[in-house]
Amino acid sequence: MQNIDKDLQSIQEAREKASQAFSAWKTWSHASQEQVDRVCGAMAQAALDASERLGIMAHQETGYGVPEHKRLKNELASRHVWQSIKDLKTVGVIKHDVEKKIYEIAWPMGVIAGLTPSTNPTSTVMYKILVAVKARNAIVIAPHPAAARCCYETTRLMAQAAVDNGAPEGLISCMQNITLEGTQELMRHKYVALILATGGTPMVRAAHSTGKPAIGVGPGNVPVYVDRSADIEKAARFIVASKAFDCSTICATEQSVVADAPIASRLADLMQREGAYFTNPQETDLLRKLLFHPDGTMNTIAVGKPAEYVAGLAGFSVPRGTRILVARLTKTGKEEPLSREKLTTVLGWYEEEGWEAGCERCIELIQFGGRGHSLVIHATDEEVIMAFGLEKPVFRIVVNTMGTLGAVGLTTGVMPSYTLGAGGVGGSITGDNVTAIHLMNIKRLAYEISPPPAAAMVPGQPKPAPSPDEIEKAVREAVVNILNIR
């Protein structure tokens, strides 16, 4: 009975927050650009000011990652996201094509259901609130149960900053009674216009199954190819740092190294100096058994944990200061569990002769998990870089940088975002880094620029009225059809 009560409470809360958000949105949909930007600027600053506190809170509640790294992710989600969209027009006429005589007019979606993960909880909430409200939408956050408190606190302080600067009450909210039934009720609610889902595959599938418009992005399985032309020292330093960053809880984190054979030994040595520990075959097998269940799902006990802790869970010890564990692999697919996405400090390692073979191995990894997501390449040979850009079935290919920070827009020029579209090949509606532009519709006011063809103005030949015989025939056919249907 207690579980039933909790489900009912969650369902009722979802209904109330969706209704309150819709009421607030009807007011907010008429906000001026100045009002929108004032509210969003205040929310971004409030989130930025609390980045450290919220990072600590997220780590304490979930047990995932590194508090300092979560602070950096919060800074990206507040300051950098706001800087990337603050000049974007989201109210009224946003573009005028004089030659084609078309005016483009921004139009909000309405109420957005924002589903957020436990791995990047506070940063994803910050980002989703900013991009939703900038596009004149309301948003109800549905957090992962394991991160409910830190997500609520993040939402609370941003909502308060919004109200203090003129936004209506109820425009921004976060569910506190979290159950699957309540989240489903929110997604299906008549006032919810769009679902913005970031998290695991089941969550994304649930969002798409509601019949509502949904932007859903799931897991990545990001390979990093290191070419013989690469700056090997930089590649080693960046790969280890990126994989260790927040204990590999970002979906764009490197999951497997594909090393060009001539530089593989040197790269391995340099990575070891940076804190990588290469496991022996017995230790690798222990990691396989620890990290994944027989059905291929990841064991959450190891998610977002430091390398020394993971090794201890698996049953072996590593030197103090070890930052990541690296397992040498030869196979890809279901027969090799460690070729999957690993949301912890374990990295796969492959060696291939030449960039063509490296390219094929990367494609195998992408096809096995993370279609359309991301890839990292370290190289200085522009022909190799472009070949990867042209051939890989992913929508973010970051070059000579950390996958973790490059794909989300901190160290590259792509839009800062914590929802990374995987395109049609990955089951997503877009391959973009999702931002405010994706959360509004565009109306087009189009004037005539050329007269209609003359043939369009000529009346068609009138058809004469049916004869009595034709009417009788049509009636007989209709009766036969009715009898056949019965």
- Say if residues 24 and 138 touch (Cβ distance below 8 Å): yes
**The two three-digit tokens of residue 191, written as one number:** 């006032």
* Of 43, 33, 7, the residue nearest 171 (C-alpha): 43
CA distance 294 to 337: 9
- Say if residues 41 and 210 touch (Cβ distance below 8 Å): no
Q: What is the largest CA-CA distance in the chain?
A: 98
Count the alpha carbons within 13 Å of 184 in the hemisphere toward its beta carbon: 10
Q: Which is it for the CA torsion 363, 364, 370, 375, positive or negative?
A: negative
**The two three-digit tokens of residue 152, written as one number:** 């609520």
SS3 443: strand
* Of 153, 180, 176, 150, the residue nearest 62 (C-alpha): 150
SS3 271: helix
CA distance 468 to 478: 15
Q: Which is it for the CA torsion 25, 58, 195, 142, positive or negative?
A: negative
CB-CB neighbours of 177 under 10 Å: 17
**The two three-digit tokens of residue 285, written as one number:** 């097998």
* Of 131, 153, 124, 95, the residue nearest 251 (C-alpha): 124
Q: Which of 151, 247, 251, 362 is labelled catalytic?
A: 251
**The two three-digit tokens of residue 436, written as one number:** 């405010």
**Residue 251: active-site member:** yes
SS3 328: strand
Bridge partners of 258, per DSSP, are 225, 350
Active site residues: 251
